[in-house]
Amino acid sequence: MNQVIDQVIERRFQARVPSPSSKNLEPENEILLKPIRRVRLYENAADQIQTLILRKKYAPGDRLPSERSLAQQFHISRHSLREALRILDVMGLIEIKVGDGIYVKEVNFLPYIESLNFSIRTRLQIERDTLVKLWETRRMLEVGMVD
């Protein structure tokens, strides 16, 4: 558990803090830390299980340990673990079979790629429309200034 906490601390903190030896707040005398981000237990558990699946520690079709066992290993409540499992289920990484167990699904990146493609196209269209409106507004202002 302490290793997990240390990893979270290393990844999540970054801010400017004066070094112990400095007497002033000049940039060269500061240590770089990361801002504190609140991490929920279920997010941490979901991240760890996701990493195991993506690193092929569990193959498609493999059965994960029981809810009780996973909750004990993570030192979290079963409720928090169920939240983590729901996230992984929605992501398409696992399948929860009530009364049977939790199984790893075949990882299919096509839906993620399609979703990302749609998001990028939508964003570009919005930015394009915004730029066109900005250009039209500027043109109207320039014409008004000339008159």
What gap in Å lies between CA 40 and CA 42, rounded to an integer?
A: 6
Query: Could you report the per-residue pLDDT of 29-78, keeping only the tens digit for each?
Result: 567 787 877 888 999 999 999 999 989 999 999 999 999 999 999 999 99
Residues 62 and 56 sit within 8 Å (Cβ to Cβ): no
What gap in Å lies between CA 27 and CA 45, rounded to an integer?
A: 37
The predicted pLDDT at position 46 comes to 95
Provide the pLDDT confidence category of residue 16 given band limits of 50, 70 and 90.
very low
Environment class of residue 96 by beta-carbon count within 10 Å: exposed (0-12), middle (13-18) or buried (19+)? middle
pLDDT exceeding 90 applies to what percent of the chain? Answer: 41
The partner residues of 96 in beta bridges, in order of sequence, read 102
The predicted pLDDT at position 7 comes to 56
The predicted pLDDT at position 11 comes to 56
Least confident of 42-46, 78-82, 129-133: 129-133
Residues 13 and 35 sit within 8 Å (Cβ to Cβ): yes
The yes-or-no verdict on residue 18 having pLDDT over 60 is: no
The predicted pLDDT at position 31 comes to 72
Name the more confident of 137 and 145.
Answer: 137
User: What is the fold, at CATH topology level, of the domain defined by 40-108?
Assistant: Arc Repressor Mutant, subunit A (1.10.10)
Q: Which amino acid is at 122?
A: T
Kindly provide the residue ranges of all beta strands, DSSP E only, lying in the chain, ordered along the sequence: 16-18, 30-32, 94-97, 101-104
Mean pLDDT of 94-123: 88
Query: Could you report the per-residue pLDDT of 52-61, keeping only the tens digit for each?
Result: 998 999 999 9
What gap in Å lies between CA 45 and CA 102, rounded to an integer?
A: 15
The predicted pLDDT at position 48 comes to 95
SS3 category, 98 = coil
